[in-house]
Chain A
Amino acid sequence: MSIAKMKKLEVWTLEQYSAGLTSELIKLRCVAVDTVLLTEGKTYRYDVSAEKRRFEKERDEVAQAIEAVKPFFTGKSPLIKKKQHADITLYDGSNEAALAPSGGGAGDTAGERGEELGRELASLRAELSSVSAWRELSVPLGGVKTSKTVSVIGTVPSSVSDKLIEEKIAGLPIAFSQVSSSSSARFMLFMVYGDAPDTVVRRLSPSGFVKAEFPGVEETAAEYRKKLSAKISETESELKSVTDVLKDNAVLISDFEMLWDLRETYVAEAEVREKLACTSECVLLKGWIPEKKAADAEKILSSKKCAFEFSDPSEDDDVPVLLENNRFARNFEWVIGMYSLPKYGSFDPTFIMSVCYSILFSMMFSDVGYGLLMVLGGFLLPKVLGLEEKTARAFRMFGFCGIFCMVSGVLFGGYFGDLPLAIIRFANPGAELPATLALLVDPVIDPMTFMIVGLAVGFCHLIAGQVIKFILVLKTSVFDAICDYAFYWIIYAGIIMLILVPGNAGLYTAGAGAFLVILTAGRKEKNILMKPVKGLLGLYGLVNFGSDVISYARILALALSGTVLAQVFNILATFSNAPAFVCIGTPIILIVGHILNLALSALSAFVHTSRLQYVEFFGKFYEDGGRPYIPAIPSGKYTTIEK
């Protein structure tokens, strides 16, 4: 429940050792490297752009090789791919070749050539099929020209008769004949006297004539087909040999994947080097490291040729923020991260927020059945799918919320909506059923009471936020804390007493609180006349607080929409007792309907709970604006060292 204490790390080394140093720091997996500011004319940056581009190019080659050989991988490929256990940092330039002797190059080039051949083959086959219709043509496909005549070939729709063509070219010295025909088109040869073959096209194109062009083909169609067929079989055999190369390389796919991670790590190293400041001989690196990891780093750094220093952050430092929480609360850290991390050195509300979050979420989605599904999905899926820790945490958060949903489901009577009742009603229409399964209150039967429960929970949530602020202010000024918060609490207590306790005790308490607020809210105003005005304005805080409380009415709205939608599906599923419907319709409607409702309601509950945290709760005390702590680490797309 806190923000990890950070140490500032500064490392100086000589130019020749700097490359080794950056790779060591990446292996440490805990140093967030900052860009060192340059002093004009004295320090400069490494120009790593060429180096980085080379690494990126090599990495992309491996990526292409992976894509190229993937279709030919015949080994067992599990449904869900788990990462290989391998420490990529154990490899470097000297033993990189051990990973994949060809460095992915063979797969890459073969993949490219394969694609090229595939394209070529497709175009050859298309050409072959377009030539087929002309195989009876005895003149060269590309056209024949004598001193007086020129040939034109093309197609007309089969509805165009010889008579029509004759009419169209009447008066011109043109002879024509049909070469072949298909169901939709006639393939025609025209011999044009003179040197104006365009005349045919001009006269006939309104009737649907399309000129067929085979530029540069001097053979007749039959000869050209033979040539094409030979070329196709040649290309096919080359493609086969390329495919063989890919097949041979496919067994290396896991090596290629490790190689990708290795090369991506080189890119990450180059990115670290970009941030350093250098003189002609010396290099300076600045970064941040969690206090707990400082000892490990010290051990490694002392064995290297460098000078280093750990120091505490100063006031002006923009320290990166790493949240540290217990096994329950750390799954909710990403919800805070989505808003904004707390400022370094401020209060980390993750634990309190995660408890409030689970409670509010479960009230919006109070159902034992859905809760159970969320518990199963939230805790099992990350294990089954082998998810990364970051994604797994989001799943586990919903798992924990699911536990709360099951508890609230018992209290507010949700078991996939009213499924148990619906089934009994269906099986035995005459049975006397209870109106609800709820122990406490059913949002559908008694929405007003449920809304009051929701508002009460909201009230506690807001007060919790104010208590946090109260404690924070208490550290600097006890008087301010009491004036700005405790006096308001007296008013709230009075209002609650007014509702719950008969008599005027509540009125007097609230009145006393209001008097104290009016008296003190203007205390910082210098102008004596403005003091009472500011004092009265202080009461406006009540309106703000009231509207914040009303905002929790959404709990009722969400609880209703989820529950009623579930009931709608239950009614649809038990609509008819025809055997066919019961066997097929009922299970389908129940499964599809409840999965849909689970997805919709969980999403709504997630979004609206988040909003209540961000706006209503955090608004009371939160100091945002923390910069996330992102250490430089080796790439782990395909490999992991986690056991």
Chain B
Amino acid sequence: MEPTTAMTFAEVFNNIFLDGKVLAVLAAAIAAILPGMGSAKAVGSVGEALDGLMSEDPDKFGKGFLLQALPATQGIYGLIVAFMVFGQISAVSSGIEGLYLFGACLPIAFCGYYSAIRQGRVAAAGIATIAKQPSASGKTVITAAMVELYALLSLLISFLLVNQNPFVH
């Protein structure tokens, strides 16, 4: 005797995955989570280095703060993509559409995470440079910002993929 009220496994699977909305939510989540984690780790470690520097010379805060702010952008890039996916969730009606959005979020998710951490390391080294050579602070910003390019490129591709979603247009 088959119960008539309970859903079959196939129906449950269908509801969760083939509908696509859950995958779209996962896409937005991964786009916000991974770059956010990377930025949090990087901003945190640069902040620790900056606090160490300020224990010697509190006046260097202004110079170091810029370096601390640099790896924060990846989290924001992730947020932008997550937000764009968020705007499309209600229009998603099949598993393949959800999967498309999930794939579109992967570049910023992974590249954002990794580039934030690597950028944080350069920025923390920059803080050490400022401690010895305050006049080089501008150059330390440039070296840290070089890493940013790859986050930008992955943002670009995630953005284009979500923005030019063939299932929506």
Contact = CB atoms under 8 A, between A and B. Distances in A.
Are A and B interaction partners? yes
Interface of A: 338, 444, 447, 553-554, 556-558, 560-561, 564-565, 568, 571, 599-600, 603-604, 607-608, 610-611, 614
29 contacts: A444-B163, A447-B163, A553-B153, A553-B156, A554-B149, A554-B153, A556-B156, A557-B152, A557-B153, A557-B156, A560-B155, A561-B76, A561-B77, A561-B80, A561-B155, A564-B80, A564-B159, A565-B80, A568-B79, A571-B83, A600-B72, A603-B69, A603-B70, A607-B141, A607-B142, A607-B148, A610-B142, A611-B146, A614-B142
A199 to B, nearest CB: 45
A74 B73 CA distance: 45
A604 B148 contact: yes
Nearest to A337: B138
A449 to B, nearest CB: 13
B22 interface: no
Contacts of A614: 142
A604 B73 contact: yes
Contact of A611 (B72, B80, B84, B145): B145
B156 A607 contact: no
Given A338-B138, A568-B83, A607-B142, A600 B159 contact: no
A565 B159 CA distance: 12
Contact of B152 (A561, A564, A600, A603): A561
Interface residues of B, number: 26
B91 interface: no
Contacts of B149: 554, 608
B158 to A, nearest CB: 10
B161 to A, nearest CB: 11
Contacts of A557: 152-153, 155-156
B84 A564 contact: yes
- Output the residue of A553, A561, A565, A603 with the most chain B CB within 10 A: A561
A629 B80 CA distance: 46
B160 interface: yes
B54 interface: no
B108 to A, nearest CB: 11
Interface in B49-79: 66, 69-70, 72-73, 76-77, 79
Nearest to A560: B159
Given A610-B142, A611-B145, A554 B80 contact: no
Top-10 shortest CB links A-B: A607-B145, A557-B152, A338-B138, A557-B156, A564-B80, A568-B83, A560-B159, A565-B80, A554-B152, A561-B155
A575 to B, nearest CB: 12
Contacts of A607: 141-142, 145, 148
A412 to B, nearest CB: 16
Interface in B133-169: 138-139, 141-142, 145-146, 148-149, 152-153, 155-156, 159-160, 163
Contacts of A565: 76, 80
Contacts of A571: 83
Given A447-B160, A556-B156, A603-B66, 5 more contacts: A557-B156, A560-B155, A564-B83, A608-B148, A611-B146
Given A338-B139, A560-B155, A568 B73 contact: no
B72 to A, nearest CB: 8
A475 to B, nearest CB: 32
Contacts of B70: 603
- Output the residue of A599, A607, A614 with the most chain B CB within 10 A: A607
Contacts of A561: 73, 76-77, 80, 152, 155
A600 B159 CA distance: 18
A79 B152 CA distance: 40
A554 B77 CA distance: 14
Contacts of A564: 80, 83-84, 159
Interface in B105-148: 138-139, 141-142, 145-146, 148
Nearest to B141: A607
Contacts of B146: 611
Contacts of B73: 561, 600, 604
